Structures are given as structure tokens and as C-alpha cells.
Amino acid sequence: MTGPPNCKSGWIVLAERRRHKVRPECEGPSSNDIWQAATLLIGVYGRDAVTYADHRRSERRELGDLDAAGTWNLIACEIEHLMRPAPAVNLH
């Protein structure tokens, strides 16, 4: 599974928007919104969810919609995080 090129770039886009005191209705998705989108896509696309999110990110970037591309990058990063296997825990 190949992930987004830089998981931090989406956060940078959202941080820039907040720093410039954008109107509340224009602030972008919350971390809960990102999580909900990621879990929905995993439910629909399974292991291909990251590929789907990467494709949408690329489409938005090609169209010049960098805010949406940043959001899709955040969703792809969250999908990767959710799909990561849980670490083994040694119980004594």
C-alpha cells in the first residue's frame, strides 16, 4: 500500500487557513470529520481506501483546489493510521 507523499502537508494547509482568521464556516474539516471520512472509506473500499483517497487528492490538486487536496491528504493519512496493525503487547 502506498500512502500519501507527505501526511503533514494537509495539516499545513489547514493551519494556514486558521492562522489567517478565516470565517468559521470556511475553516475546513475537524479531526472528527477526517476520522469519519476515513472509516467510511475503509468500510466501502477496504484495503483500497488509501488508493481511492490518493486518487481524489491528485484530482483536486490537478484542478488547483489545494484546500480539498489537503483534506484528502489528511483522510489518506488517517486511513493509513487506522489500517496499521496494532502492536503486539506482552502480558506478564
| H or E element that contains 15 | helix 8-19
The string of pLDDT tens digits covering residues 1-39 is: 455 545 544 444 444 444 444 444 456 788 889 999 999
pTM: 0.68
Q: Where are the domains of the chain?
A: 8-83
**How distant is the alpha carbon of residue 12 from its chain centre?**
12
* AA letter at 63: L
